[in-house]
Amino acid sequence: MGPNGAGKSTLANILMGHPAYQVTQGEVLFKGENIVGLAPDERSRMGLFLAFQYPVAIPGVSVANFLRMAINARRAAENGNGKKIPIPEFRELLKGKMDLLKIPHEFAGRFLNDGFSGGEKKRTEILQLATLEPEIAILDETDSGLDIDAVRIVAKGINALVGEELGILIITHYQRILNYIKPDFVHILLAGRILQSGGADLAEHLEEVGYEGILEL
């Protein structure tokens, strides 16, 4: 958590390897490996995922085709021989994930993020998370721009996915989503540094005193 301009999205982008950011020092360790030199797709195939604050539109490419190609790209990289997911199996998989997130099935045929509302984009990010099954997911302000019902649905989806298989780093500046998700750890980022770390109660405390209150400590 952190106020606007604290460096939260910068951190998310750096972790995923955005080409506009240059890492001048330090390491990013994932599965014991420093991934700073890896391309975003290599990081993704290692199991890292970023739900974008502003998801990008890909006109002409349906959500279903996009996800199927992403799965195939990951499989090809994994087992080398490029074994593709059979289409019926993929359909079942996608249908299940859509039901989990209460996304209507006709969404699969829509062009990715093209003309989507803010809420639809964020839900599609979570659908991608659910379908691609990464090991660590960073959710960059996935809750912002969502109405209260959508926050609840997204939170429910996140709760269903998180566990032994998936760790999640949620970036937010509202406490709102934390009404539905109980974090194991809370870190407060300010001016590019982690100012304070704690448990779920830190978020509650933050809600009471605000970032200024934390700063005064």
Query: Which range in 49-57, 101-109, 151-159, 164-172 contacts another protein by CB under 8 A?
Result: 49-57
Cα 15 from Cα 81, distance rounded (Å) = 29
Burial of 149 (0-12, 13-18, 19+ CB in 10 A): exposed
Beta strand 33-34 pairing with 167-171: unpaired
To the nearest whole angstrom, how small is the minimum distance from the Cβ of residue 103 to another protein?
17
Which tokens go with 49? Answer: 């995922």
Q: Which is nearer to another protein, 131 or 172 (CB)?
A: 131
Q: Are 196 and 217 in contact (CB under 8 A)?
A: yes
- Integer-rounded Cα Rg, in Å, for the chain is 18
Cα 137 from Cα 12, distance rounded (Å) = 10
| Residues pairing with 196 in the sheet | 188
Give yes or no for residue 73 binding another protein (CB under 8 A). yes
**Which of 74, 97, 121, 123 is the binder for another protein (CB under 8 A)?**
74
Q: Which is nearer to another protein, 62 or 144 (CB)?
A: 62
Q: Which is nearer to another protein, 66 or 116 (CB)?
A: 66
Give yes or no for residue 217 binding another protein (CB under 8 A). no
To the nearest whole angstrom, how small is the minimum distance from the Cβ of residue 185 to another protein?
24
Give yes or no for residue 56 binding another protein (CB under 8 A). yes
State the binding string over 10-39 for another protein (x if CB under 8 A, else -): ------xxxxx------------------x
Q: Which is nearer to another protein, 111 or 211 (CB)?
A: 111
Give yes or no for residue 9 binding another protein (CB under 8 A). no
Give yes or no for residue 45 binding another protein (CB under 8 A). yes
Q: Is the dihedral of CA 125, 126, 127, 133 positive or negative?
A: positive
113 sits in the region (left: phi over 0; alpha: psi -120 to 50; else beta) called left
Q: Which residues bind another protein (CB under 8 A)?
A: 16-20, 39-41, 43-45, 49-50, 52, 55-56, 58-61, 66, 69-70, 73-74, 77, 111, 128, 132
